[in-house]
């Protein structure tokens, strides 16, 4: 039993079963960000330099508010998925779970704060 080949040691272990789904999620969010980031830059750029009331009026329109909200949500989801990949590849032991949990809380919390700010401006 001490002379097992690499294949015999790995047989029966199975795969993590989420690698393909995670890769596709990252690709989809990357493509979405390719579209959203330029839209966000152009819509946000139009509001730069304005007074608070001008920005409030600008983000009361649906298009800039929706673009900003979608950019915030997709960006933080993409960031969280990328951080998860980084931690799973390079961190092992109990720190792996703590880092994943902490960064998930931080990224979803920041996305929630951003959405709340957009909602306050838009409504």
The pLDDT assigned to 13 comes to 64
Closest CA to 70 of 37, 42, 108, 44: 37
CA torsion sign for 85, 91, 92, 97 is negative
Residues of the chain short of pLDDT 70, as ranges, are 1-2, 12-17
Could you give all domains of the chain from N- to C-terminal order, each with its CATH number?
24-122 (1.20.1300)
Kind and range of the H or E element at 9? helix 6-10
The pLDDT assigned to 119 comes to 95
The pLDDT assigned to 21 comes to 87
The pLDDT assigned to 1 comes to 53
The pLDDT assigned to 77 comes to 97
Distance CA 85, CA 100 (A): 10
Q: What is the pLDDT of residues 20-42, one digit of tens each?
A: 888 899 999 999 999 999 999 99
């Amino acid at each position: 039993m001490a002379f097992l080949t690499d294949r015999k040691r790995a047989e029966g272990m199975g795969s993590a079963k989420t690698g393909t789904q995670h890769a596709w999620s990252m690709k989809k969010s990357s493509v979405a960000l390719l579209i959203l980031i330029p839209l966000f830059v152009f819509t946000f750029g139009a509001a730069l330099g304005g007074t608070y009331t001008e920005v409030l009026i600008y983000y009361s329109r649906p298009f800039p508010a929706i673009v900003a909200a979608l950019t915030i949500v997709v960006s933080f989801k993409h960031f969280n998925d990328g951080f998860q990949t980084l931690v799973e590849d390079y961190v092992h032991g109990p720190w792996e779970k703590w880092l994943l949990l902490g960064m998930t809380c931080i990224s979803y919390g920041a996305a929630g704060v951003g959405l709340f700010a957009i909602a306050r401006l838009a409504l």
